[in-house]
Chains A and B, each alone.
Chain A
Amino acid sequence: MYSKEELFLAISTVLDPEVGFNLVEMGLIYDASCDADGNAYVKMTLSTKACPLHQLIMQWVREAVQKMAGIKSVEIDLVWEPAWNISMADEHVKQALNRG
């Protein structure tokens, strides 16, 4: 129903309030898919297991996908392998964080 790119685009509206970048450019969204019936699946991680916003971030991702027309359900798979590191982020994020 939706391609991975379309799902990523929807999720890119979710910002990490600590660093100010969206989850997709941070490299925190590993995969996303959606079947013909509108059942979406998002595989993601967080920059740390100790993230105190983890429940909210997952909720924001779910809401961002649910806003897409025809979506019936959203399954979020929060994984810790592979562990996130800065090399997964977009180049402009790396440069901005590196500049300080």
Chain B
Amino acid sequence: MFSISQDFAPPFKLISPFFIVGSFFYLAAVFYIFSIAHQNISLLDAKILGFVHLFLLGFVMMVIFGAMAQLVPVVLEVGHFGVELFYAIWPLLGIGTVMMVFGFSYPMLLPFGGVVVLIAMMIFVMEIFLTIRKVEKLTLVMSSVLIANIFLFFGIIFGLVMSLGYAGMISIDIDALLRSHVFLVVVGYIVVTIMGLSAVLIPMFGLSHGFSMRPLKIAMTMIGIAALFVVASSLGGIGALAYFGYALSVAAMVVYFFFVRVIYKTRARKEIDIYAKSLLFSYVSFMVSLVLGVLYFLGAGEPFILSAGWLMFFGFFGFIITGHIYKIIPFLVWFERFSPLVGKQKVPMLADMLPQKSSSAQLLFSATGVVVVAVALLLQNEILIKAGASFLLFGVFAFVKSVFYMINYK
């Protein structure tokens, strides 16, 4: 008999704070949009930087870290090195995020917030590295977890150095380091993590079989090389090198998109539930974001990269995360609350634990909001941005309601 992973489901009380706190940060990020004025709509504006960190650290990273507490044993097929360490991660990440968001308005706070976030991420990264050490033979997906965390490690080091420079404590070229920081964290960690996990989760939920993993291997290799180009451009002060990296990473993401498309085409389960709809919207946002990004690098104006970034963050990351939350939370709650009752009394199916109305409302309002804001950014129209944010606000309220519904399901 083959043995596979142990401890696949850590206690729900350990993971639930990540999802609860993360969803409140998502809500806070959408509220924050209403404070952004027309003059703030540019790439390096302090308000935009605060907003991006609020969303990416508070929501995206918070939920990914929580999800990884459960998914790492599933993917790595070994138990965690020290899953209790996750109890320390969410408070530190939450506090550090708040300090950093304020730090973009009060720069002295920034390095302190940065250090708190750094500690949270180091605990996470080290726990993952020590867990990976238990793996005897790395598969492609396991390698993706390792590579993503190496990128995260260096990405946050760049970020900390930048925060010291931002606060005036050291003299550095922030713009040069920014390239590596953004690339390593956003593409290196978040995108590579999504790439690796989606190769396990999308086939698992869709019952897909018989697809080749080769495109994923190609995409990850290309991103690894791209990261080297971008970091070399930061450290060597050669801006042009970064463009090779960007072009390579766009190509890698297109390869990855076709990989996901093959998984989707080979699925046995054709049901278009909230999970499938969320993923469809996320991947459409992903492709539109890439097109807008390419247009920006071909000479279109800054609105194109702002809109591309918006679609990548709120469209791709946002919906792929919310879609998976509709799978992960019911599973964890079911595992803890209902699995001991199997065979003794009737227990719900996982699909029964989904709030149909609020999840549908979340999808509809959030998707509308994401599209309206993306257009508004292209048009640089502040009123339209706030209109889109209003839709998004309803959507995120519905999302928070859904999260609590699933957590409290009895």
Contacts and interface: CB of A to CB of B under 8 A. Distances in A.
Contacts of B9: 52
B349 A100 contact: no
A61 B201 CA distance: 24
A17 B348 CA distance: 8
A73 interface: no
Contact of A100 (B4, B203, B269, B334): B269
A63 interface: yes
Contacts of B203: 48
A17 B9 CA distance: 15
28 contacts: A17-B348, A17-B349, A18-B331, A18-B350, A47-B204, A49-B4, A49-B77, A51-B204, A52-B74, A52-B331, A53-B339, A54-B5, A54-B8, A55-B6, A56-B339, A60-B342, A63-B343, A84-B209, A85-B209, A85-B210, A86-B209, A86-B268, A97-B268, A97-B269, A97-B271, A98-B268, A99-B271, A100-B272
A88 to B, nearest CB: 10
B329 interface: no
Nearest to B332: A52
A94 interface: yes
A13 B347 CA distance: 13
B270 interface: yes
Interface string B295-319: 0000000000000000000000000
B315 to A, nearest CB: 24
- The dominant DSSP class at the A interface is loop
B329 to A, nearest CB: 13
Contacts of B6: 55
A83 interface: yes
B244 interface: no
Interface string B51-62: 000000000000
Interface string A58-69: 001001100000
B210 to A, nearest CB: 7
Contacts of A36: none
Determine which residue in B5, B205, B207, B335 has the highest number of CB atoms from chain A within 10 A of its CB, and name it. B207
A19 B339 CA distance: 15
A15 B200 CA distance: 22
A95 to B, nearest CB: 10
Contacts of A54: 4-5, 8
